[in-house]
Amino acid sequence: MAQESPLVTEAKKIPIEALKYTYTERDVILYNLGIGATEKDLQWTYEGDDEFSALPTFGVIPQFPASGSIPLDWLPDFNPAKLLHGEQFLSIKAPIPTSGELVSQARLLEVLDKGKAAAVTSVVETRDKSGTLIFENHSTVFIRGSGGFGGQRSGSDRGAATAENAVPKRSPDAVSEEKTSPSQAALYRLSGDENPLHILPEFAAIGGFNKPILHGLCSMGISGKHVFQKFGAYKDIKVRFAGVVYPGETLVTEMWKEGQKVIFTTKVKERDTIVLASAAATLVDNAAKAKL
């Protein structure tokens, strides 16, 4: 493997503060609603239900402020407006508490030089008060215009976090279709991602979009819900953000079960465009059998 750039080696030495995330059952319900749970899904929308729980992709929420706290201004020509969320990997290490206080510690994992862009991957470990690891997130962002610093071009193999997840050459084992609400982004942002790109038309226009776009992590959550509904619990999930979704569009998740892995792709029905690619979830060993 190519030698790490001295720029990256130095950047890894910058201290990063651990961040607390305190939440209640109300925050869990708000997240579940934000990824399309309804009043019929009482286990996700009513705190008094015997089966009340957070949907698995809630794991991206407590880590979000920590993931965004990693300084990137050491990159050449860094411009935060040119940052794109490329990939997300979530590993669920323990049962998800429905309220409490969690602490997330971020660290810079690797920075790749893609020529015209830099690809920055960070890892965030989220623990409860006892120190038990609950979630591990790997986030990759692309910063356009920040390449060419002489760094390595290809990254390390991180197993499920970097798997290509090629789609099998057969029809899907399950398909879920869900129309998002025109207010989906306005609701989802209340879970912590307040980027104006998802609510302000004039800000979206600066980014080159004709209207505000849905959060990539919201699309990931909706598809993660589809996988959970069809195949049961999973211990990790990974997606590549391949296109934009506008609130009000219909998401179609196509799923293929390959052993313990469910490979999936997500399309916008109205434009027949893939928005989540190279995606898969690894089922827990005793997951409920597929409800096909």
In what order do the strands lie in the sheet containing 234-241?
Answer: 19-23, 100-113, 117-128, 133-144, 83-92, 234-241, 273-283, 261-268, 250-258, 174-179
- Residue 52: domain span: 6-147
Q: Do 118 and 227 have their domain in common? A: no
The CA distance from 70 to 108, in Å, is: 7
The CA distance from 158 to 84, in Å, is: 21
Q: Do 76 and 30 have their domain in common? A: yes
Per-residue pLDDT tens digits for 29-39? 999 999 999 99
Question: Is residue 161 included in any domain, yes or no?
Answer: no
Q: Which of 106, 130, 147 is the last residue of a domain?
A: 147
Q: Do 13 and 55 have their domain in common? A: yes
Question: Is residue 155 included in any domain, yes or no?
Answer: no
User: pTM for this structure?
Assistant: 0.95
Query: Secondary structure of the chain in the HEC alphabet?
Result: CCCCCHHHHHHCCCCCCCEEEEECHHHHHHHHHHCCCCCCCHHHHCCCCCCCCCCHHHHHCCCHHHHCCCCCCCCCCCCHHHEEEEEEEEEECCCCCCCEEEEEEEEEEEEEECCCEEEEEEEEEEEECCCCEEEEEEEEEEEECCCCCCCCCCCCCCHHHCCCCCCCCCCCCEEEEEECCCCHHHHHHHHCCCCHHHCCHHHHHHCCCCCCCCCHHHHHHHHHHHHHHHHCCEEEEEEEECCCCCCCCEEEEEEEEECCEEEEEEEECCCCEEEEEEEEEEECCCCCCCCC
Q: Do 197 and 135 have their domain in common? A: no
Residue 164: predicted pLDDT? 97
Residue 207: predicted pLDDT? 81
Q: Do 21 and 135 have their domain in common? A: yes
Q: Indicate the pLDDT class of residue 67, thresholds 50, 70 and 90.
A: very high
Q: What is the mean pLDDT of residues 77-102?
A: 95
Residue 247: predicted pLDDT? 98
Per-residue pLDDT tens digits for 166-207? 999 999 999 999 999 999 999 999 999 999 999 999 999 988
**Nearest C-alpha neighbor of 220 from the set 279, 143, 274, 142:** 279
Q: Do 141 and 191 have their domain in common? A: no
Residue carrying structure tokens 């030698």: 3
Question: Is residue 106 included in any domain, yes or no?
Answer: yes
Question: Is residue 160 included in any domain, yes or no?
Answer: no
Q: Inform me whether the pLDDT recorded for 256 exceeds 90.
A: yes
Question: Is residue 134 included in any domain, yes or no?
Answer: yes
CB atoms within 10 A of CB 168: 11
Q: Do 135 and 47 have their domain in common? A: yes
Q: Inform me whether the pLDDT recorded for 144 exceeds 50.
A: yes
The domain that contains 248 carries what CATH number?
3.10.129.10
270 phi, psi to nearest 5 deg: -65, -30
The CA distance from 289 to 2, in Å, is: 44
Q: Inform me whether the pLDDT recorded for 288 exceeds 80.
A: no
Q: Which of 147, 165, 189 is the last residue of a domain?
A: 147
> Mean pLDDT across the chain, nearest whole number?
95
Paired tokens of 69:
């706290």
Q: Do 203 and 138 have their domain in common? A: no
Domain tally, the chain: 2
Q: Do 179 and 252 have their domain in common? A: yes
Q: Indicate the pLDDT class of residue 291, thresholds 50, 70 and 90.
A: very low
Cite the active site residues: 193, 198, 213, 216
Q: Do 10 and 138 have their domain in common? A: yes
Question: Is residue 98 included in any domain, yes or no?
Answer: yes
Percent of the chain with pLDDT over 90: 92
Q: For residue 179, what are the β-bridge partners?
A: 250
Per-residue pLDDT tens digits for 109-133? 999 999 999 999 999 999 999 999 9
Q: Do 33 and 119 have their domain in common? A: yes
Residue 107: predicted pLDDT? 98
Question: Is residue 166 included in any domain, yes or no?
Answer: no
Q: Do 56 and 127 have their domain in common? A: yes
Bridge-based pairing state of the strands 133-144 and 100-113: unpaired
Residue 241: predicted pLDDT? 98
The CA distance from 106 to 122, in Å, is: 7
Question: Is residue 164 included in any domain, yes or no?
Answer: no
Would you say 288 and 240 are in contact if contact means Cβ atoms under 8 Å apart? Answer: no
